[in-house]
Amino acid sequence: MPNPMKALKTASPFTKYLMYSVAVTIIDSAAVWLLMNHFAVELVYANTAGMILGFFIHYILSSQSVFQTEYGAIGFIVYVGTFILGIFLAGGLISISYHKLFYFLPETFKFLFSKGVSVVVPFFILYYIRKSIYKLMGTSCSSKGDVTL
């Protein structure tokens, strides 16, 4: 049986970012579903709460292993700034896709597909923005197998 921790250590930064994002998305989606279905929280608010939880987990997982930055004020500011952009982007995407794009589907499918849209699009945008900012700041983001801009 393959060892996932060994695979993670040898994976490219982009692959690590993807793997962390998948894990965080599962946690985020479960939190959103729980808030909507058991606490009657409106979709965009529940999604924002799930994203905030995911933000902290993702920051801890990816700051050092993906972007090779230290935990500190500047790295955290970059993450918070891009996260705020991501909240607005994901909030708009989940609302539009839930109410306009997937309106004809049953509730569960509307949620799953809309959540997927609100995760996939910001995933790529935020990765490349963060990577670009860290490069501009002079922080080493390029390592073996990394995705180039």
Mean pLDDT of 115-122: 94
Domain positions in the chain are: 14-136
pLDDT tens digit sequence for 9-29: 889 999 999 999 999 999 999
pLDDT tens digit sequence for 51-103: 999 999 999 999 888 887 777 888 889 889 999 999 999 999 999 999 999 99
Long-range contacts at 91-99 (CB < 8 A, ≥ 24 apart): 91/44, 91/47, 91/48, 91/118, 93/117, 93/118, 93/121, 93/122, 94/43, 94/44, 94/47, 94/118, 95/43, 95/44, 98/43
What is the CB-side half-sphere exposure of residue 123 using CA atoms within 13 A? 19
